[in-house]
Amino acid sequence: MSEQENNNETIQDPIEDNTTENQEETIELSVEEKLSAEVAEAKDKYVRLSAEFDNYRKRTSKERVELIQSAGKDVITKLLSTVDDFDRALKAMETATDVESIKTGIEIVNNKFRQTLEHQGLKEMDVVGKEFDADLQEAITAIPAPTPDLKNKVIDVIEKGYYLNDKVIRHAKVIIGQ
């Protein structure tokens, strides 16, 4: 071999080594690029999912408020005819001379009012003579029981308790026997 060929080989060897290193760097860069692309995609999905959840939360909150408002509207609409009846009864009381007819009219309006509330799910508690239950009643006072069988039972009701669709909305205020 001549000197010139030896020089060419020497020159070629480092070039081949650089090419291999460049390929490894390219492979490493492409792996890094792939990973950074995956990370960017995951971040994008997270941001979108977070925004979507926030929108969902706001939408359901708004729907809940609208539902509550419309439910109140339905009840009030059903009570308006009873309010009209009360107005007519008050007007009739101004000129009436017969107390019995006024009393009958008020009882009719009262019954209509209570029926409307019952249709909406309101139910009155029946507690007189039953065992005292702290989950349903509030004891205002305790008095000596008139008979032994009325001990720890409700003797009288000061303020009625009510259920709305089988859930207590107001506890009965009662007097219990000791």
Q: Where are the domains of the chain?
A: 123-178
Residues 6+ apart with CB under 8 A from 58: none
pLDDT digits (tens, 9 = 90+) for 58-67: 999 999 988 8
Give all strands (DSSP E) within the chain, no chain letters. Answer: 122-124, 137-143, 154-159, 162-164, 167-170, 172-177
Question: For 61-91, how does the pLDDT look when each residue is reduced to its tens digit (9 = 90+)?
Answer: 999 988 887 878 888 888 999 999 999 988 8
pLDDT of residue 22: 59
Residue 18, pLDDT above cutoff 60 = no
Topology annotation, domain 123-178? Nucleotide Exchange Factor Grpe; Chain A, domain 2 (2.30.22)
Mean per-residue pLDDT over the chain, rounded: 85
Half-sphere exposure at residue 178, Cβ-oriented, CA atoms within 13 angstroms:
6
Q: Do 145 and 178 meet the contact criterion of CB atoms below 8 Å apart?
A: yes
